[in-house]
Amino acid sequence: MKSLYLIRHAKSDWGKAELRDIDRPLNARGYSDAYKMSSILKAQKIIPDLVITSPAIRAISTALIFCRNLQSDASDIIINSDLYDSSLKEYKNCISKIDNKFTHVLLFGHNPTITECAKKLLGSFPEEMPTCSIAGIRSDEDDWNNFTLKKCELLFFDFPKNQTSQKE
């Protein structure tokens, strides 16, 4: 059984127009949301075996915060350039190449492709993934190469504004 946690990067800073898109950092809300959402995985005792991220600064920063909060070794993060400015094909290819020794994988990426990936894996998905949202997905499949070939099960879907509304 394999579990994949698709995580859209946290909110980024648009304040410096001279920065290239790939170089945009997180804004204050992005940092806060990354800590909040990683705490949800921590409460569920989800510790990743593998973390894969887009090379965008905002995605790497989100992944680092999740690793720190989950007490996972950040030096093992894999930066995959195919997850930036890419298509569903690249996401599926990335997933299919995961070594089968890993069972719990966090994958940090971008919209619209990360939402398309969730829809493809689940057959349907309720909405677009907001920033720093998590779609926990499980398959009975033991081979990552086959993970994307059949319908998976949604374990949970959560996002920062959902957490805010639950506290009120």
Three-state SS string across 129-143, please? CCCCCEEEEEECCCC
Beta bridge partner(s), residue 13: none
Domain boundaries along the sequence of the chain: 2-11+22-135+145-156
- Does an H or E element contain 66, and which? helix 57-70
Mean pLDDT value across the chain: 93
Tokens found for residue 124: 């349907």
Q: Exposed, middle or buried, 73 (CB in 10 Å: 0-12/13-18/19+)?
A: exposed
Fold classification of 2-11+22-135+145-156 (topology level): Rossmann fold (3.40.50)
pLDDT given at position 164: 58
pLDDT given at position 69: 96
pLDDT digits (tens, 9 = 90+) for 65-107: 999 999 999 888 999 999 999 999 999 999 999 999 999 999 9
What contacts 167, CB < 8 A, 6 or more positions away? Answer: none
Average the pLDDT over 8-13 and give the result.
Answer: 97
pTM for the complete prediction?
Answer: 0.94
pLDDT digits (tens, 9 = 90+) for 104-117: 999 999 999 999 99
